Structure 1
Amino acid sequence: MLLYVEVDCKIYDAHSLKEKRHILKRLLHQLKRLNISVSELDHQDLWQRTLLGLVTVANSHVPCERVIDQAIQLLDRDPRVECLNIDREWYE
């Protein structure tokens, strides 16, 4: 099973692209600790928006859901970031 998730986020504490990169670098590092693949997919030129792509692979739905839920909780706990939209897609 492969779970692919796109998370559209607003970044509140970024007032420049440099500040956005600094915030994203820390977030991506924390997310990668969960053993998922993560990348910024869109809005690279906007300093208060980002579209993150998260991917995880496991032998069933439950472990995939668990790790992605942990990743989304990590994003939700960060006061600098607001998740505006979350889209999930399953591939078997």
Structure 2
Amino acid sequence: MVVGVMKLDLHLHAPQNLKEKRGAVKRIVGRCRERFPVSVAEVGSQDLWQRTEVGFCMVATSEADIQAVFSHIEDEIDRLALADVLHRDTEFLHYS
């Protein structure tokens, strides 16, 4: 069993206030939850208008399976055109 954790630091394009930011983050998080087998939440930069950190977690049988899903998540965020990925941190925990 492998647990994969990914944190994305995102720059949001349009928000002019925190209410607009919440709407954009909600759309990104909702889309990822419905399309991918991951747990996802906003985990940082809640008080900044155009920045956010979003965390993802997934359990699978191999690291390659998780890497593929994480890569698709980044592609989906690019397709939504609401934010740019500034930084990605990924960690894997292996259990036998």
Q: Is the partner of 1:88 in helix, strand or coil?
A: strand
Tell me by how many angstroms 1:56 deviates. Answer: 0.8
Q: Is the partner of 2:67 in helix, strand or coil?
A: helix
Residue of structure 2 equivalent to 1:79 = 81
C-alpha RMSD over aligned residues: 0.9
Residues 23-43 of structure 1 show CA distances to partners (whole Å, capped at 9, x for unaligned) of 111111110121101111111
Q: Distance in 1 between matches of 2:71 and 2:81?
A: 17
**Which aligned segments of 4 or more residues in structure 1 are displaced greater than 3 angstroms?**
none
Identical pairs, percent: 30
Residues 28-81 of structure 1 show CA distances to partners (whole Å, capped at 9, x for unaligned) of 111012110111111101110001111111011121111111111111222220
Residue of structure 2 equivalent to 1:32 = 33
TM-score (norm 1): 0.94
Q: Does the Cα contact within 8 Å between 1:2 and 1:57 map onto a contact in 2?
A: yes
TM-score (norm 2): 0.91
Q: Which runs of 5+ in 2 are unaligned?
A: none
Which runs of structure 2 are paired with 1:5-44 in the superposition (5 Å)? 5-33=6-34, 34-44=36-46
Q: Is the partner of 1:53 in helix, strand or coil?
A: strand
What is the aligned residue count? Answer: 92
